[in-house]
Structure 1
């Protein structure tokens, strides 16, 4: 889709006289330049997302790490997690990470926008951290089972 929009924008640059019903040739030419730059950048960004897969969730013996390697990395120790819960919003399933002391994690957040989002999530979903399996290469049930198994192994608890 992005390539089609870029090609259309290039056509405006190369053949502005064909698009001059009401306007001078400079208007379609300018729209073509802006469109080529914008849609070209969007296409490159989309391709980077598709080609370069990034780890979004990391599970080890000590922590569940959300967005590892990024600026807003969140590392939750297994002993801070009280479990996982499925939340449905407008037929979209989310996994909510239930914490023993969610206020502590919210207070530790330094970014004010992220802090407001965590407070909103806590108020509406009983947890500051919720995520969807759509962002990962697995389905919702497999991800929920994987998280529950890792939680049980690392906290030596059982799910009722």
Structure 2
């Protein structure tokens, strides 16, 4: 299990600590049975839940699934929505890329600390997201810690968006 973040903890790698009482803390997270005490954020302000749509799906996505996710995220970004996803291979990466290519914003919610971005081949994508959106985690440092960490991450993705679109599931 990840180390629970503390609102007064020093954020790693130039990230900021966003406590639950901050103005831009996603209000949807407060509806969770176990909302994070704080988030670690690298990048810009987080969008209001009403202006965010989660686009998620299979890591082993088909080419048509990747194309659909890219197109959908781009269309939503052009309408002014921020795309929220998990930075995983497949549909998640396609959703982030679609939003960025459309000139929109995207938020990547990761299951590890900001010092342990996975998959490692998404480091460049993560850096681009941090410049044109935000990377978010509830973990102070390290990880990931196995499948449970991804389930914990997924609850944040769903709570940070007004709707969740599953493009393709395995």
Superposed pair shares fold, TM > 0.5: no
TM-score by length of 2: 0.30
TM-score by length of 1: 0.31
Structure having the higher helix fraction is: 1
Larger RCO, structures 1/2 (Cα 8 Å, 6+ apart) = 2
**Higher Cα Rg, which structure:** 1
